[in-house]
């Protein structure tokens, strides 16, 4: 084995592990901040932004879990397998949380309107852009694919690859997927004051932003 390559791989492995530790701490901090600062609100209705977010983000998370399991089977690289395992377990657990919210609210799991409808409605401050931050409109309309959601063709391509090529394509898809997840989390933060939703969405923004940085470094190392 090449000693220099071993040292380099070890350093990258430690960087990924460190990034995941930072991610966990950041999510815990964001959760705590959200719980302390967000006001209590009434139970969301079936057409609410909270319900729409819970339904759509479950679907979004499910695809991240699927992509992660695909790449774990396609590579023996320890860095990528660790990252994929972390994404799969974290997002599967969060799927369960969102499923539980809808049950607690006595609302159906299925959308009562086209996907992404909740994100097209005005923010609490009256902003009519889809993300509510006063920037240019993202152009999302009701029924559009979720931001960063991979197409069937992209998923099929990922399944067809292995080794480094699978790693690179996974990282490209997952970076875009996480960016879309952050966009959706930002959108619900602009549309809800529910304590649980706010702390959860803050955790997604902080956690997935950290993972995007880690994945960009991993992708650059493979270019």
Instruction: Quick: pLDDT tens for 73-92.
Output: 999 999 999 999 999 999 99
Pick from 75, 113, 95, 124: nearest CA to 204: 95
- Tell me, what's the pLDDT at 136? 34
Pick from 149, 171, 172: nearest CA to 16: 171
Check if the beta carbon of residue 19 is closer than 8 Å to that of residue 210: yes
**Model confidence pTM above 0.85:** no
- Tell me, what's the pLDDT at 42? 82
- Tell me, what's the pLDDT at 21? 57
CA distance 174 to 59: 15
DSSP for residue 191: T
| Average pLDDT value for the chain | 86
Q: Average pLDDT for residues 20-39, to the nearest whole number?
A: 49
Asked if the model's pLDDT at residue 72 lies above 50, the reply is yes
Show the CA angle centred on residue 23, arms to residues 104 and 218, nearest 5°: 125
Asked if the model's pLDDT at residue 207 lies above 80, the reply is yes
Check if the beta carbon of residue 63 is closer than 8 Å to that of residue 135: no
**What is the band of 158 on the pLDDT scale with cuts at 50, 70, 90?**
very high
Asked if the model's pLDDT at residue 182 lies above 60, the reply is yes
- Tell me, what's the pLDDT at 32? 46
**What is the band of 25 on the pLDDT scale with cuts at 50, 70, 90?**
low
Phi-psi domain of 111 (left: phi exceeds 0; alpha: psi -120 through 50; beta: other) = beta
Domain ranges for the chain: 23-36+45-108+139-221
Question: What's the CATH superfamily of 23-36+45-108+139-221?
Answer: Ferritin, core subunit, four-helix bundle (1.20.1260.10)
SS3 state at 123 = coil
With 0-12 / 13-18 / 19 or more C-beta atoms within 10 angstroms meaning exposed / middle / buried, residue 87 is: buried
């Amino acid at each position: 084995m090449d000693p220099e390559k071993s040292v380099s791989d070890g350093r990258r492995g430690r960087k990924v592990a460190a990034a995941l530790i930072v991610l966990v701490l950041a999510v815990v901090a964001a959760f705590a901040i959200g719980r302390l600062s967000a006001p209590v609100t009434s139970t969301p209705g079936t057409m609410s932004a909270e319900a729409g977010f819970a339904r759509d983000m479950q679907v979004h998370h499910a695809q991240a879990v699927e992509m992660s399991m695909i790449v774990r089977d396609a590579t023996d690289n320890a860095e990528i397998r660790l990252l994929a395992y972390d994404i799969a377990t974290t997002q599967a657990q969060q799927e369960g949380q969102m499923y539980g919210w809808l049950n607690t609210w006595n609302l159906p799991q299925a959308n009562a309107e086209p996907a992404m409808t909740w994100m097209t409605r005005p923010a609490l401050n009256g902003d009519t852009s889809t993300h509510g931050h006063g920037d240019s409109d993202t152009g999302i309309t009701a029924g559009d694919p979720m931001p960063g959601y991979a197409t069937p063709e992209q998923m099929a391509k990922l399944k067809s690859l292995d080794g480094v090529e699978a790693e690179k394509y996974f990282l490209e898809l997952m970076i875009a997927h996480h960016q879309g997840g952050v966009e959706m989390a930002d959108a619900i933060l602009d549309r809800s004051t529910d304590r649980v939703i706010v702390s959860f969405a803050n955790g997604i923004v902080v956690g997935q932003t950290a993972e995007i940085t880690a994945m960009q470094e991993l992708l650059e190392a493979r270019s």
